[in-house]
Amino acid sequence: MTTIGIIGGSGLYEMQELEKIEHIGVSTPFGDPSDQILKGELGGTTLMFLPRHGRGHRVAPHRINFRANLFALKRLGVEQIISVSAVGSLKENLHPGDLVLIDQFIDRTRSRPSSFFEDQNLVAHVEFADPIDLGLQEALHAAAGEVGAKVHKGGTYVCIEGPQFSTRAESRLFRSWGADVVGMTNVTEARLAREAEIPYATLAMVTDYDCWHETEQDVTIDNVLQVLRQNVETARRIIAAVVARLPDPSQSPASSAMKYAIVTAPEHIDAETRQRLAPLIGKYLPAN
């Protein structure tokens, strides 16, 4: 039985559908995650739920401790991750209320740590050409169809630093690149999930047209929250439907991403670093 991790974005702070619920506090070498992790069972599958902004939405996008969040999920045995996230649309045909299963990222963040191997006595370079797990994406697509959601398969997500929304010039620039949606969180999660060898997929919930659209109201938090309330129920139904369709995580390329990624000679990696990063590198570099 696989263990699935759900990272809930704006509007999704709890999973009432779970049974055998337990709240777990996890400490990591990178500090504390956004909140306690909710462990439960859903359709016979073990599910770990983490609200990325904390319950009550206390943590801004640029202040999220992404490394602690992903490390905590890895430590608890999560084998694949679905990230539920609010996004702005950059395309006319991606309407507020639609869902997008993105498959690529453009990273416009600038101040957040995006690797477990920063400030460590270890250098690693993981392959990241295809950041989304295709098997998990396909399972989400089938589950979305099952519950009758309007879903678009494929698309590019521009990840901005936040917490401000885009300027009009930035929004038009992103459209000129051919990007589909804009958000503030997912590329950092995807990078860290790959280093943690966890297959990762995004369920993006369109809340607005950003600020490029000439005939729609510019994005405001009031508009975002109104659409989010509608989308969150759909996301919950998709999660409930996807657990019966989850792929075998061991067949994902992400499950062995670190195999050839470590370039530091083993004799130069000290015991403390091996111990601290054991959940990530232990199968390749034993602590002893």
Catalytic residues, by residue number, are 208, 210
Q: In sequence order, what DSSP letters do the residues of 173-235 get, joined into one string? A: HHHHTT--EEESSHHHHHHHHHHTT--EEEEEEEEE-TTT-SSSPPP-HHHHHHHHHHHHHHH
Best CA proximity match to 202, nearest among 192, 213, 190: 190
Q: What are phi and psi of 262, to 5 degrees?
A: -80, 120
Question: Which residues 6+ apart lie within 8 Å of 224 measured at CB?
Answer: 10, 86, 207, 208
Cβ–Cβ under 8 Å, residues 174 and 167: no
* Token representation of residue 167: 């300027």
Cβ density class 256-284: b for 16+ within 10 Å, e for less: ebbeebbeeeeeebeeebbebbebbbeee
Whether residue 96 is preceded by a cis peptide bond, meaning omega within 30 degrees of 0, is: no
Backbone angles phi, psi at 4, to 5 degrees: -105, 140
DSSP, residue by residue, 262-285: B-S-GGGS-HHHHHHTHHHHTTTS
Report which of 8, 243, 238 is spatially closest to residue 144, judged by C-alpha positions. 238
